[in-house]
Chain A
Amino acid sequence: MTPTTILVVAFVAISVFFTFVGAVGMLRLPDVYTRSHAATKADTLGAGFAILAVAVYFGTAGEVIRAAILFGFIYYTNPTAAHAITRAAYSQGIEPWTRDDSEGGSR
């Protein structure tokens, strides 16, 4: 394996790890607010490293610029999506889960 391949594999592995964490968080966390942390934020690093891997793999200036722009869009739209979901939830009057709620026995 060339150093480039190793680097690409490493980036993809990190990307998969954080995306996996996002999925696990989605399942384990208790309410819509905490879940949207998982759903939207693990992507920042997950997708970020995937794009980094793409940039390294192709390596030409054109592809690197396009990858950077792509990351820029994820960087800007990610928080917007999280914000839209939780804001909707909040205006529906959904109470955020707190530590105390778990003592009642429900998850």
Chain B
Amino acid sequence: MADVSRPGGVVVPVEPSASLEGTVSHAVEAVRADALGSVHLVRTGHRTHDRKLRRDRRTLDRAEEYAREAAGEDVTIETALLGNDRYMADPGEHVDLLVEYVHEHDLDRIILGPSYSVDSTAPSLQPVESVLSTTDVEYERAPVSKSAWGPTREGLVRGGVLFGLSVVFYLALGGLGSTFTYFAAIGTGVLVAVLLGNVVFETTPHLRSALGVAGRSLLFVPYLLWEIAKANVLFAYVVLHPSLPIDPGMDRVDGAVSDGLSVTSFANSISLTPGTLTVDAIGNHLLVHSLTEGARDDVAAGVHEGAVRFLFYGREGLELPNPGVRGDMEPLSGPAATEQTEGGEPDD
């Protein structure tokens, strides 16, 4: 037929799960039942490196295949990767993307897989529904069984990694040697994994990227310690100097980092180095208080941001110009802000 698109349709945010096929074919059925035109398969998320892009592409391709099998010729299938042009630190921002997409393409509703959760937050922390219900867009969960009530692969990975970490932590504190310690370690490990498996990880850990981050942290941590030491000496100089040569100011800094963990690392490394302090963080917009001009220049020069981007995104992460050059740093109070308002009062 291919009489090209009756108006309207549904959008399905896809994720790599066992219920993907069921969800997609349900969406196709729903579109057919309501005599709508198209099924849009989308994957939200900022692709910080090529590997992630390939992974998302693969998921989307798989979903598209399922959809084409189910669709025949009367339903149009569209796919899209959303969110590649912005940094997202908050699961709500993924939902914003979906809602925007719905409005832009004039679609009817969102269909979620039975276990769909924004891959930036643990499912039990902030269900997607709670964010979606504050918007004007309709949504439904596809009535597909998520392969009985068994644990998902993601759940197993999260639980397993957490179990391993807690056992190692227990043994590091308790020492090796007695049979009792080993049993106690395994016991607490199981307990922690079961209770906290859904809370601890923001995204399901991937072996390769986890190893990459662990490896690069061998460079990152000494670098940060060195910066801390250097800045501490300067701080001591400023504080002990008779005339107290400080020149504090407040800046807004937009970190070029996505997802909570890297934003937190960025904010924390700013806070850890004396002279700068993260006062507030909304998404990847940080409010940074700095004690001296030099400390501000460090932030603008990407001393912290570059390091954090290297830690999480590898060498590709270093290619971005620093926040000062990008214009992602804006003075709110202090000397720079006063200059901007041409010698007047610092604006608030």
Whether A18 and B236, one on each chain, are in contact in the complex, defined by CB atoms closer than 8 angstroms, is yes
Name the segment of B33-41, B106-114, B202-210, B264-272 touching the other chain. B264-272
> Is B291 among interface residues, defined by CB-CB distance under 8 A?
yes
Within 8 Å by CB of A98, from B229, B280, B333, lies B333
Whether A82 and B338, one on each chain, are in contact in the complex, defined by CB atoms closer than 8 angstroms, is no
A86 to B271 CA separation, bound complex (whole angstroms): 11
Whether B277 and A33, one on each chain, are in contact in the complex, defined by CB atoms closer than 8 angstroms, is yes
A65 to B168 CA separation, bound complex (whole angstroms): 12
Residues of B within 8 A of A34 (CB): 246, 248, 289, 291
Whether B248 and A41, one on each chain, are in contact in the complex, defined by CB atoms closer than 8 angstroms, is no
Whether B239 and A99, one on each chain, are in contact in the complex, defined by CB atoms closer than 8 angstroms, is no
Residues of A within 8 A of B235 (CB): 21, 25, 37, 41-42
Whether B240 and A24, one on each chain, are in contact in the complex, defined by CB atoms closer than 8 angstroms, is yes
Within 8 Å by CB of A78, from B173, B229, B272, lies B272
Residues of B within 8 A of A41 (CB): 232, 235, 271-275, 277
Within 8 Å by CB of B348, from A18, A30, A33, A95, lies A95
Number of interface residues of B (CB under 8 A): 37
Among B236-270, those with CB < 8 Å from A are 236, 239-240, 244, 246-250, 267-268
Interface mask (B272-288 → A, CB under 8 Å = 1, otherwise 0): 11110111100000010
Number of interface residues of A (CB under 8 A): 40
Within 8 Å by CB of B333, from A30, A69, A95, lies A95
Residues of B within 8 A of A69 (CB): 169, 172-173
Whether B172 and A65, one on each chain, are in contact in the complex, defined by CB atoms closer than 8 angstroms, is yes
Closest to B239 in A: A25
Within 8 Å by CB of A62, from B175, B236, B248, B279, lies B175
Among A1-27, those with CB < 8 Å from B are 17-18, 21, 24-25
Whether B249 and A96, one on each chain, are in contact in the complex, defined by CB atoms closer than 8 angstroms, is yes
Within 8 Å by CB of A79, from B173, B278, B335, lies B278
Whether A45 and B228, one on each chain, are in contact in the complex, defined by CB atoms closer than 8 angstroms, is yes
Among A26-53, those with CB < 8 Å from B are 28-31, 33-34, 36-38, 40-42, 44-45
Residues of A within 8 A of B334 (CB): 96, 98-99
Residues of A within 8 A of B277 (CB): 33, 36-37, 41, 82-83, 86
Interface mask (B322-348 → A, CB under 8 Å = 1, otherwise 0): 000000000001110010000000101
Among A62-84, those with CB < 8 Å from B are 62, 65-66, 69, 75-76, 78-80, 82-83
Closest to A93 in B: B348
A75 to B228 CA separation, bound complex (whole angstroms): 11
A41 to B280 CA separation, bound complex (whole angstroms): 17
3 shortest A-B CB distances, which residue pairs?
A: A79-B271, A41-B274, A25-B239
Known: A41-B273, A98-B335. 12 other contacts (CB 8 A): A28-B239, A29-B246, A37-B275, A38-B239, A44-B232, A65-B172, A69-B169, A80-B268, A82-B277, A83-B267, A83-B279, A96-B333
23 contacts between A and B (CB under 8 A): A18-B232, A24-B239, A25-B239, A29-B244, A33-B289, A34-B291, A37-B291, A41-B273, A41-B275, A41-B277, A44-B274, A45-B228, A65-B172, A76-B268, A78-B271, A78-B272, A83-B267, A83-B279, A87-B280, A95-B348, A96-B250, A99-B248, A99-B334
